Homo-oligomer: A and B are copies of this chain.
Amino acid sequence: MAAGTSFLRQCIATTTRTLVTAKSKHSSYHFSTFLLPLRTHSRRLTIRAGITNNEEVAAKAAASDADSGAPTIFDKIISKEIPSNIVYEDDKVLAFRDINPQAPVHVLIIPKLRDGLTELGKAEARHGEILGQLLYAAKIVAEKEGIVEGFRVVINSGASACQSVYHLHLHVLGGRQMKWPPG
């Protein structure tokens, strides 16, 4: 992913956030911007300038496109159009570092084929195999990152859970003592 896109910022505001729009994929994103799901390359990108951190608002805004089936930033990461720091990859899943980490290790795991899995709440019985592969990949990632002795997996489904990209993704966090409740 581009060094400037912080599309993974999620939930709970501490300050306010400013909305900015840019016209093309060639825009030079500010380091702490938040990228909403893209409909197409040619459409205007809605970018949230990271002056602040109102992640609830960001998730709610992203939810407006949740059922559109539109491509998201993850499609560009899968296609390598946007570079990312890949931790693990096989034919079914891709794992890469969250560029707005909430722990010393913070990796996202996504299915390469979204196949209707915009969110976990849209899962169907036929998705069982890929869901298992994603969760097993979390263990592989934890091993690779040296945190298999202690890590947390989080899946946000929907705006009230702070989902901000509508392509199912698992957060794998570790490298520090995690707290309770989990957000």
Residues of chain A whose beta carbon lies under 8 Å from any beta carbon of chain B: 9-12, 55-56, 102-103, 120-123, 125, 127-136, 138-139, 142-143, 148-162, 171, 173-174, 176-183
Q: Are B151 and A153 in touch, CB under 8 angstroms?
A: no
Take A162-B179, A180-B55 as given contacts and tell me if A150 and B139 are in contact as well, using a CB distance cutoff of 8 Å. no
If over half of A's interface residues share one DSSP class (helix, strand or loop), that class is named, otherwise mixed; here it is mixed
- Known interface pairs A128-B133, A132-B131; A102-B148 also in contact (CB < 8 Å): no
Q: Hey, which chain B residues are within 8 Å of A160, CB to CB?
A: 149-151, 174, 176-178
Would you list 18 pairs from A and B whose C-beta atoms are within 8 A, ordered by A residue? A12-B180, A120-B135, A121-B142, A123-B136, A127-B136, A131-B135, A131-B136, A142-B157, A148-B157, A149-B159, A151-B158, A151-B160, A152-B157, A152-B161, A153-B155, A154-B154, A173-B181, A183-B183
